[in-house]
Chain A
Amino acid sequence: MNYPSKLIEQAVLEISKLPGIGKKTALRLALHLLKQNEQTVEGLTGALSRLKKETRYCERCHNLSDGPLCTVCASPSRQENVICVVAEVPDLIAIENTGQYRGTYHVLGGILSPMHGIGPEELQVASLLERVKSAGEEMEIIFALPSTMDGDTTSFYLMKLLKPFGVNISTVARGIPIGGELEYTDEVTLGRSILARVKYDFGG
């Protein structure tokens, strides 16, 4: 594609690097921004550059965070002895949106897939073990990992590491359609499956 100006070309090039955005869409977005007033555009660029520069990760659970601890870990009303292990932040957000879960989280940063360069050392495993080790009370760990082959392998791996600490382990795979990613599961189903899990472990 030929562009009438170098500046437009540059903008299109950058925008089209985003996932799911082709050159055509990028051009449409760039022209749209050009029509906005300066304040609006600076609002966007400012938010984007602060996003990368200032976003931090929770020291405890690796959730996105504004301070050293995320809002979940900082909240006094969450049960610290219950940890829900998720692959990525969107999974955590999906569970939070159910409004049914009162425990804390641990974000692994992915699932095991050595062929994509993700081995055990690339995941936040050591800090999870540290949390379990240093806990003063009996811990409950819930796996909410994708129900795929690699998700299962990740669960197997973690289970073996957690076993010696005598923790209660459960999964919320039940109720989630097979092959369905956590992120896309509707809130009602997910909420119900988390509650069902909690009742199962505490009642029985």
Chain B
Amino acid sequence: MHLAQLHLHFFKNYERSDLEFVAGINCFVGPNGSGKTNLLDAIHYLCLTKSGFGFTDSQSIAHQSQFFTLQAEVEGNTAFSLLKCIQEQGKRKLFYQDGRLLERLGEHVGALPVVLIAPDDADMVKGPEENRRKFFDNTLCQLDPVYLKRLSRYQHLLKQRNALLKTMQAKGRFQADFLAPYDSQLIPEAIWIAEQRQQFLMDFEPLLQAQYQAITAGQEHLQLQYESQARDPEQFEKMFREAAYQDYLAKRSTVGVHKDNFHLYLDGHPIRKFGSQGQVKSAAIALKLAQFLALKARVGFPPILLLDDIFDKLDDKRIQFLLRLVAQNEFGQLFLTDARPERSKKMLASLQTSIRVFPVEKGRVLAAEDIGQVPPSE
């Protein structure tokens, strides 16, 4: 599966751009602030129906416009070949597959699997628990539409329950019967989610370990440990219900899978605390590559890979590792950004795949150049 064309209209700093991609490597090169990363984000949007860089929908609309549209032509083993997204200011985001409007955005998630490797990935390893939960939820949602549905349900019910706790606190009156309809729905969802997370990690950990060993040439052992209050269903239900008054005092739900932790250890030591900068970076790439492999194994074809600014932010050792994987044909279609075109061209020149370079200048994409040793039609 690969994207053959991309059309942007009023997306971020692009008024209008039409791009034709190769199935191999597509490079967006240009100075910082020219909008290279916005092109990656456009692709991320079309794959997962939202920004991969934390922008809201309205932030993604060009300032001179009230809407943006993104359109892509997809080739290969997908159920559709034309994908379109329309976001009008203050309105519902619309996704169309071959002209058919999707009732729920969730229907699309997973159809075009994508992995983003970005400069701030280290925060996933080093940052707060929430970052790791987000990473694993992103992966599980792409793997399983039911997970996405039930996680959204859990998150919605939790938001309502927290709002209710706040109101009760403001009124100064605790009422357990008000919480009951939320509790009776949240508890089974939490237990199910914890079960899915745990099951997934059993497959994921070996992938992660192998990737980490390959990147670091094998000295240390990276382990993953899952911690959840909902692993024991009976215990959890009791704990959840007993926390009600404490929740009222705290004005938020203190028990649930939104408190789950994913711990990373290096030879038994928490990497968050003791990991060196290099170890943290390697673990971050290993997580993303393991995500890539897990998605690939499930759908049967390689996900789209987005590499943002890696030549600048990664050291040579890790860049060489990634390029070796490219050379070994581990990846499918790849998009990358670089501020220095000559460097990218030099790095990629020896690879046996189709390569197209797009110079980017202040929201405009200039004439592309094919530099690969394999013709673009392959």
When the two chains form their complex, are residues B164 and A119 in contact, meaning their CB atoms are under 8 A apart?
Answer: yes
When the two chains form their complex, are residues A149 and B157 in contact, meaning their CB atoms are under 8 A apart?
Answer: yes
B177: contacting residue among A113, A115, A153, A160, CB under 8 A: A160
Please give me the residue from chain B that is nearest to A154 by CB atom. B181
When the two chains form their complex, are residues B167 and A119 in contact, meaning their CB atoms are under 8 A apart?
Answer: yes
Please give me the residue from chain B that is nearest to A180 by CB atom. B103
Please give me the residue from chain A that is nearest to B184 by CB atom. A156
When the two chains form their complex, are residues B167 and A156 in contact, meaning their CB atoms are under 8 A apart?
Answer: no
B160: A residues at CB distance < 8 A: 112-115, 150, 153
Contact with B along A44-62 (1 / 0, CB 8 A): 0000000000000000000
How far apart are the CA atoms of A193 and B147 in the complex, in Å?
A: 31
A179 within 8 A of B: yes
B180: contacting residue among A113, A149, A150, A157, CB under 8 A: A157
When the two chains form their complex, are residues B156 and A149 in contact, meaning their CB atoms are under 8 A apart?
Answer: yes
B159: A residues at CB distance < 8 A: 115
Do A179 and B103 form a contact, CB below 8 Å, given A119-B178, A156-B181? yes
A110 within 8 A of B: no
When the two chains form their complex, are residues B153 and A153 in contact, meaning their CB atoms are under 8 A apart?
Answer: no
How far apart are the CA atoms of A117 and B180 in the complex, in Å?
A: 18
Q: How far is the CB of B184 from chain A (nearest CB, A)?
A: 6
Do A157 and B181 form a contact, CB below 8 Å, given A149-B153, A179-B103? yes
A103 within 8 A of B: no
Number of A-B residue pairs with CB-CB distance less than 8 Å in the complex they form:
43
Q: Is the interface of A mostly helix, strand, loop or mixed?
A: helix
How far apart are the CA atoms of A150 and B160 in the complex, in Å?
A: 9
A109 within 8 A of B: no
B161: A residues at CB distance < 8 A: 114
B180: A residues at CB distance < 8 A: 156-157, 160
B269 within 8 A of A: no
How far apart are the CA atoms of A117 and B181 in the complex, in Å?
A: 17
When the two chains form their complex, are residues B103 and A153 in contact, meaning their CB atoms are under 8 A apart?
Answer: no
When the two chains form their complex, are residues A115 and B181 in contact, meaning their CB atoms are under 8 A apart?
Answer: no
A179: B residues at CB distance < 8 A: 103-104
Question: Which residues of B (142-183) have their CB < 8 Å from a CB of A?
Answer: 153, 156-157, 159-161, 163-164, 166-167, 175, 177-178, 180-182
Q: How far is the CB of B185 from chain A (nearest CB, A)?
A: 7
Please give me the residue from chain B that is nearest to A158 by CB atom. B181
A152: B residues at CB distance < 8 A: 185
Q: How far is the CB of A120 from chain B (nearest CB, A)?
A: 5
B156: A residues at CB distance < 8 A: 149
When the two chains form their complex, are residues A115 and B163 in contact, meaning their CB atoms are under 8 A apart?
Answer: yes
A160: B residues at CB distance < 8 A: 177, 180-181
B181: A residues at CB distance < 8 A: 112, 153-154, 156-157, 160
A154: B residues at CB distance < 8 A: 181
How far apart are the CA atoms of A19 and B115 in the complex, in Å?
A: 41
A115: B residues at CB distance < 8 A: 159-160, 163
How far apart are the CA atoms of A149 and B164 in the complex, in Å?
A: 15
Q: How far is the CB of A63 from chain B (nearest CB, A)?
A: 25
Q: How far is the CB of A176 from chain B (nearest CB, A)?
A: 14
A117: B residues at CB distance < 8 A: 167
B157: A residues at CB distance < 8 A: 149, 153
Q: How far is the CB of A33 from chain B (nearest CB, A)?
A: 28
Question: Which residues of A (138-176) have their CB < 8 Å from a CB of B?
Answer: 149-150, 152-154, 156-157, 160-161
When the two chains form their complex, are residues A114 and B177 in contact, meaning their CB atoms are under 8 A apart?
Answer: no
B164: A residues at CB distance < 8 A: 114, 119
When the two chains form their complex, are residues A120 and B185 in contact, meaning their CB atoms are under 8 A apart?
Answer: no
A120: B residues at CB distance < 8 A: 175, 177-178
Please give me the residue from chain B that is nearest to A155 by CB atom. B181
The 4 A-B pairs at the shortest CB distance, nearest first, are namely A114-B163, A156-B181, A114-B164, A115-B163
8 more CB-based (< 8 A) A-B contacts, given A113-B160, A115-B159: A112-B160, A114-B163, A115-B163, A120-B175, A149-B156, A153-B182, A153-B185, A161-B177
Which residues of B are at the interface with A, using a C-beta cutoff of 8 A?
103-104, 153, 156-157, 159-161, 163-164, 166-167, 175, 177-178, 180-182, 184-185
Sample (15) of A-B pairs whose CB atoms are under 8 Å apart = A112-B181, A114-B164, A114-B167, A115-B160, A115-B163, A120-B175, A149-B156, A152-B185, A153-B160, A153-B182, A154-B181, A156-B180, A157-B180, A161-B177, A179-B103
